[in-house]
């Protein structure tokens, strides 16, 4: 078993880490405070190939592997969790289904501009009554001639307020359940009947736009159907599996930021005549944080390696996602505790890490759903 990175993987990890420390981390607090979409950072990351890491160069990506993607996303999320999830959605939730199920023409039109970093993409799945129960969609797509007429509202869509392109999950017939689900590729800037609704006010990841997407007799060309009718639910599950690797990487990055800040503060903060890092109570917290984060990264890298090598990675992605999310939340809470009263103040980054970490336990499948996925795979249940 070889844990060493390839020369290319190490090079990308180092390159992105330097960029994140120099250009993303210094503005992370400002992005959080102002809720500003990091437009300039996204464009630069696009130039570096990080908005489509595992997308072939033919379609605007960097043509690398998913292990490299995980390494890059950890470094980005360590600097700014909001930027991390923007990159994750571009690569995973949006990029994966278009790359995997789109035809050449669709990839050129809808994947190339996103993977190359010109625009953001999003995946419109969640509805008011369809979250964990993804098959309960009510957003309706009716084929009329050479167009689908779409009616429905999507909620909590990451990148929704800034995305140019969208993979839209809809149903052709609610009575068919999951068999009626399709995915449509939508150019949101050129779709009559589409509008952005409510922009959510959130606890964390405040520089990431989370929006309501409204479709009222929206017209989507029939040629924008991803794959064929009846394949949408399988595509959805496959895309979510890939997305969970991205969220696991984001969680690892947040946890790493919490650990690094906790270590630095523990060395500086003096109580009873010595740095608090000298106290065993603090040392134990730091040791647990570091050990659990290493384990979370190993789970995440394993899932990415399985995807790269064509193996089934559903169970491993679910394991990585829920474990990394729980570890990140624990690390963030312990970071606040080590900072003490300062950890509760916005002057320091500890409270931001805690706010940012929480969402990793919720989106792209709650951690409860991930445990169900793992258990069903273990038991051989569908």
Is 200 in the active site?
no
Alpha carbon of residue 231 to chain centroid: 23
142/69 Cα distance (integer angstroms): 37
Cβ atoms of residues 200 and 28 within 8 Å: no
Residues 6+ apart with CB under 8 A from 32: 82, 206, 207, 352
What residue has token string 């559903």? 314
Active-site hit among 127, 307, 314, 364: 364
What residue has token string 């394993």? 302
Cβ atoms of residues 204 and 355 within 8 Å: yes
Number of H helices, E strands in the chain: 13, 9
Strands, E, within 43-146: which ranges?
A: 121-124, 140-144
Residue by residue, what is the 3-state secondary structure of 240-281? HHHHHHHHHHHHHHHHHHHHHHHHHHHHHCEECCEEHHHCHH
Residues 6+ apart with CB under 8 A from 360: 247, 250, 251, 254, 321, 324, 325, 328, 329
Please name which of 284, 275, 360 lies closest in space to residue 320, comparing C-alpha atoms: 360
Q: How many residues does the chain have?
A: 382
Vertex 321: Cα angle to 317 and 327 (nearest 5): 140
Active site residues: 364
């Amino acid at each position: 078993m070889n844990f060493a990175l390839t020369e290319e993987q190490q090079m990308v990890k180092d390159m992105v880490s330097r960029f994140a420390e120099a250009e993303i981390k210094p503005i992370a607090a400002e992005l959080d405070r102002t809720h500003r979409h990091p437009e300039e950072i996204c464009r630069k990351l696009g130039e570096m190939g990080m908005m489509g890491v595992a997308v072939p160069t033919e379609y605007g990506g960097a043509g690398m592997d998913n292990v490299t993607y995980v390494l890059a996303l950890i470094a980005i999320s360590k600097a700014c969790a909001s930027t991390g999830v923007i990159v994750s959605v571009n690569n995973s939730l949006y990029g994966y289904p278009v790359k995997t199920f789109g035809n050449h023409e669709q990839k050129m039109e809808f994947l190339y501009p996103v993977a190359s970093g010109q625009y953001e993409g999003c995946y419109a799945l969640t509805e008011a009554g369809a979250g964990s129960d993804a098959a309960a969609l009510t957003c309706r797509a009716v084929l009329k001639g050479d167009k689908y007429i779409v009616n429905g509202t999507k909620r909590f869509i990451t990148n929704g307020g800034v995305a140019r392109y969208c993979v839209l999950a809809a149903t052709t017939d609610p009575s068919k359940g999951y068999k009626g689900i399709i995915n449509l590729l939508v150019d949101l800037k050129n779709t009559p009947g589409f509008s952005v609704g409510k922009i959510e006010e959130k606890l964390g990841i405040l520089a990431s736009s989370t929006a309501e997407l409204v479709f009222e007799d929206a017209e989507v060309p029939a040629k924008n159907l991803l794959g064929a009718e009846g394949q949408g639910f399988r595509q959805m599950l496959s895309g979510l599996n890939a997305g969970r690797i991205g969220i696991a990487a984001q969680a690892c990055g947040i946890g790493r930021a919490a650990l690094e800040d906790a270590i630095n503060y523990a060395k500086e903060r003096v109580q009873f005549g010595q740095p608090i890092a000298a106290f065993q109570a603090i040392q134990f917290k730091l040791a647990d944080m570091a050990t659990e984060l290493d384990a979370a990264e190993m789970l995440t890298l394993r899932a990415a390696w399985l995807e790269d090598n064509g193996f089934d990675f559903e169970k491993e992605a679910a394991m990585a996602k829920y474990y990394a999310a729980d570890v990140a939340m624990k690390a963030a809470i312990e970071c606040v505790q080590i900072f003490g009263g300062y950890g509760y103040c916005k002057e320091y980054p500890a409270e931001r890490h805690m706010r940012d970490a929480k969402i990793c336990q919720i989106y792209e499948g709650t951690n409860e759903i991930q445990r169900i996925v793992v258990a069903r795979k273990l038991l051989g249940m569908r």
